[in-house]
Chain A
Amino acid sequence: MLLEVEGLSVRFGGLGALADVTLGVAPGEIAAVIGPNGAGKTTLFAAISGFLRPQAGRVRFAGREVTGMPPERLCALGLVRTFQVTRPFAGLTVRENIAVAAHLRHASRKAALALAERVAARVRLEDRLDRPAAELTLAGRKRLELARALATEPRLLLLDEVLAGLNPAEVAEMEPVIRGLRADGITVLLIEHVMQAVMRLSDRVWVLVGGRIVASGSPAAIVRDPAVIEAYLGRGAAERLLREDALAGGA
């Protein structure tokens, strides 16, 4: 396993945000964590990527214990995250934004700028290179988040809702980019609301509800899991659906 999360718990005061979360991502996989709003998905990413110290549990990355390690060190080890609420360096150009990340493994300005250009082309930001990041649309900002993360040349990429808020055409443009990461040996763990995209992209899915993992498996198995249907459609929904199915079948 490239990433192993074991018994992770995070509490904010008396409020439990994550309870005993365990999951693992194998090298080369595209895995996803789904769940309703407030389920603790972003908290899970924050705890894995070093922005939050968990109260209990362990995170192992590439065979190394990394629990509570600061984000900049995790990034240097090859674990990088994006932010759901995009955080561009607003006063810098797109090129300069990406170059900051490229500098992680390239000391020379020239090498970092060259890498920034290549990465920008990959996420189709090449025509915006010299525009200020503040001018980008939401779709552009999501691409910039992805581009910056890629420029750190990671082994594991945590994508926090990079598709949310995009229109279907924009989602369709982003999908192959994410799928293409696998060819570069980049493992992906994503949090997503856009279910269709998750189902098409992921090898494996975990369902997080109320801070707990309630189901996991292949996308095909997950959509039929009663615990998942209840989480999204409310208590008793699975039973009701099955009954209606049975009735429809009987009629």
Chain B
Amino acid sequence: MRSLPAIGLFALAALPLPWLTGSGTVLNLATMVLLFATLGQAWNLLGGMAGQFSFGHAAFFGTGAYATAIAQIRFGLDAWSGFAVAILAAVAMGALVGFASFRFRLRGSYFALVTLAFAEVARILANSLEITGAGVGLLLPLAPGLDRLQFADKAGYYWFALVICAGGLVLASLVRESRLGARLAAVRENEEAARALGVDAFAVKMQAILLSAGLAGAAGAFYTQLFLYLDPHIAFGPQVSVEALLGPIVGGTASLWGPVLGAAVLQLLGEASRALTGGATGANLVAYGIVLVLIVRFFPDGIIGMGRARTADARGVTG
């Protein structure tokens, strides 16, 4: 696969960060960048590659986060099995959302609204069911150790996040360079034409949402391991869905690296805006909103698309 060397290089370059900095803030920030890069990559498998814009990726993230917490707390599973359960549960959620939307040919804003509705229903359910701890949420016992996927220091979590992020990059690059990737692009560009050429649009969109949900579920399970605490708003709240789609759109949906770049820019921006406003709540969201408007208005192909747009202009190409 063509992108594998680049992914290897990225992982290798990111590996020594904990040895280079003693700052906990920097490591925290880097870990959050990797987490949201993974969530963005998950969103991009469906939104960027297949053109199906989800506004409810919190449904998958939250399902993964809760699934591992419930598996460990209520069923006594170990954290590794919990992680696997989280991915499977998120995939099942993806199957449900995908079937409910794609079976009935929902596209565009209708699809976005249905995904949002699923995430909200999940949030309300988590808020009222006993198994999810209702409004109180779930607390995992602190017990550091690799067998419990908990780490005594920030470096351990950073490397854990790096592994998941690299895994997401490998998954996305495999899809990109495969038959599935070609078919997803065809469905994104013109679904009718794709069907005329033998592409089963329903089947390929289902495959995309299953992969996307599974990766988002992995990101959710990582969140649980990192903070050891969940409540319905953290797991299923709309800001999770917004973070999932904002990164790829800002970074560039057409590229494997768009979600990574977007997550880095947004997390740095969020941190800066919090620092500038003295930690005002929602300051990061205001900054996100401004960046989103500017990107959509001036660089619809994202930050990665900036260079390309300029060369295309120079050639006199439009459209």
Using CB atoms and an 8 Å cutoff, list the residues of chain B in contact with chain A: 177-179, 182-183, 185-186, 188-190, 192-201, 254, 317, 319
Name the residue on B nearest A153 (C-beta): B198
Query: Does A81 sit within 8 A of B, measured CB to CB?
Result: yes
**Which chain A residues lie closer than 8 Å to B192 at the CB level?**
51, 83, 87
Q: What are 25 A-B contacts defined by CB distance under 8 Å?
A: A70-B195, A71-B196, A72-B198, A75-B196, A76-B198, A80-B196, A81-B196, A83-B196, A87-B190, A87-B193, A87-B196, A89-B185, A89-B190, A90-B190, A91-B185, A91-B189, A96-B185, A100-B183, A100-B199, A101-B197, A108-B179, A109-B177, A109-B179, A135-B317, A148-B197
**Which chain B residues lie closer than 8 Å to A108 at the CB level?**
179
Number of interface residues of A (CB under 8 A): 34
B198 to chain A minimum Cβ distance, whole angstroms, is: 4
Mostly helix, strand, loop or mixed at chain B's interface? helix
Extra contacts, 6 of them, besides A89-B190, A112-B182 (Cβ < 8 A), are A49-B196, A51-B192, A75-B196, A75-B198, A88-B190, A152-B198
A160 to chain B minimum Cβ distance, whole angstroms, is: 10
Query: Does A162 sit within 8 A of B, measured CB to CB?
Result: no
The distance in angstroms between the C-alpha atoms of A180 and B225, with both chains bound, is: 64
Using CB atoms and an 8 Å cutoff, list the residues of chain A in contact with chain B: 49, 51, 70-72, 75-76, 80-83, 87-92, 96, 99-101, 103-104, 107-109, 112, 132, 134-135, 148-149, 151-152
Name the residue on B nearest A89 (C-beta): B189
Given A103-B179, A109-B178: A149 and B197 interface contact (C-beta under 8 Å): yes
The distance in angstroms between the C-alpha atoms of A72 and B196, with both chains bound, is: 6
**Which chain A residues lie closer than 8 Å to B197 at the CB level?**
75, 80, 100-101, 104, 148-149, 151-152
**Which chain B residues lie closer than 8 Å to A109 at the CB level?**
177-179, 182
5 shortest interchain CB distances as A-B pairs: A75-B198, A89-B189, A87-B193, A104-B198, A101-B197
**Which chain A residues lie closer than 8 Å to B200 at the CB level?**
72
Q: Which of A87, A92, A101, A132 contacts B198 (CB 8 A)?
A: A101
A138 to chain B minimum Cβ distance, whole angstroms, is: 14
Interface pair B189/A72, CB less than 8 Å apart = no
Q: Name the residue among A51, A72, A134 with the largest chain B CB count within 10 angstroms.
A: A72
**Which chain A residues lie closer than 8 Å to B196 at the CB level?**
49, 51, 71-72, 75, 80-83, 87
